[in-house]
A and B are shown apart, each in its own frame.
Chain A
């Protein structure tokens, strides 16, 4: 396969969650969330009750993908920051380490300057955590994986049929 799958364990998830909570607070944001480049929501912080985060994640990834396509047409590697300004809410989207998308939604209680500053700091931390995840996955591949914990080890045709009942 071209890309390796993203496998996340509790330990890394807690670290990511902690960093998002901190960013949410320090940037005075409404909502902060992390999406993988293929549109899967990884984690979020803040008031997500009224937001369809799954759709938002997929559309954000589509947005980044389209912008990335434009960048390559212009001979740029990637546009790493997108910013959309609305009447009330604004959205700041940034790409971390070519693989993860950090999204911050904020209103007039914060400012673009503050968000940019805090995002920059958080991006460094998150980038390191995802480096850890990648190296852990590679290590496991070499050592033969964690079969004992895997939900797939004993998956049967019946399990799959049950999903479609």
Chain B
């Protein structure tokens, strides 16, 4: 759900990073935070446990620039990936405009990826959304590690609809901005259809 303010000439959109525990959602946000000009970003807020696992969400507001005189802001959120935080994940998806599914490319994490994707579908459906109708992209993260699954196989398992996908190494920033841009573009083009 975007917020379009004609009075202050601002457009605000919400993008959520989803995926299994330790797949690199927070790392994506940290890299974006690190590489963005100070005047374009707000604080990166992480509600995390003492061991730096996301407890509720991470939040990063980004003001990317102007389109036709309107300031475009994206609010980036991550969900807590660990299975038992299901109730919190549901809350964060509320009012979402675009979703980035971050998948862990390591072969041994494939089951966790699939479980998380199912969880995403269920949680979206509960709010009347469908992955197929949402601005949505997949990031195959951790491509630099040994024992990663081939992209073709991951697409077969995690991307049956053939949506936009990106290879990523979030720790060094590979694919991070490309993925964000991919979904941000879809969100803005979706708004164009409606307004």
A residues sitting closer than 8 Å to B (CB atoms) are: 1-10, 12-14, 36-40, 42, 52, 54-55, 58-59, 62, 65-66, 68-69, 145-147, 149-155, 157, 159-160, 162-164
Interfacial residues of chain B within 166-195, with CB under 8 A of chain A in the complex: 177, 181, 184-185, 188-189, 191-192, 194-195
Q: Check B7 against A155 for contact (C-beta < 8 Å).
A: no
Q: Check A8 against B67 for contact (C-beta < 8 Å).
A: no
| Sample of 17 more A-B contacts, CB < 8 Å, known A7-B4, A9-B6, A65-B94 | A1-B128, A5-B194, A6-B1, A10-B7, A13-B8, A38-B1, A39-B14, A52-B42, A54-B42, A55-B42, A59-B45, A62-B47, A66-B56, A145-B194, A150-B195, A151-B70, A159-B67
Interface size on B, residues (CB 8 A): 49
Q: Check A38 against B14 for contact (C-beta < 8 Å).
A: yes
B11 — which chain A residues lie within 8 A by C-beta? 151
* Secondary structure class of chain B's binding surface, majority of residues: mixed
Given A38-B14, A58-B45, answer yes or no on A10-B91 (Cβ-Cβ < 8 Å).
no
Q: Check B91 against A65 for contact (C-beta < 8 Å).
A: yes
How many Å lie between the Cα of A150 and that of B191 in the bound state? 10
Q: Check A164 against B64 for contact (C-beta < 8 Å).
A: yes
How many Å lie between the Cα of A13 and that of B6 in the bound state? 9
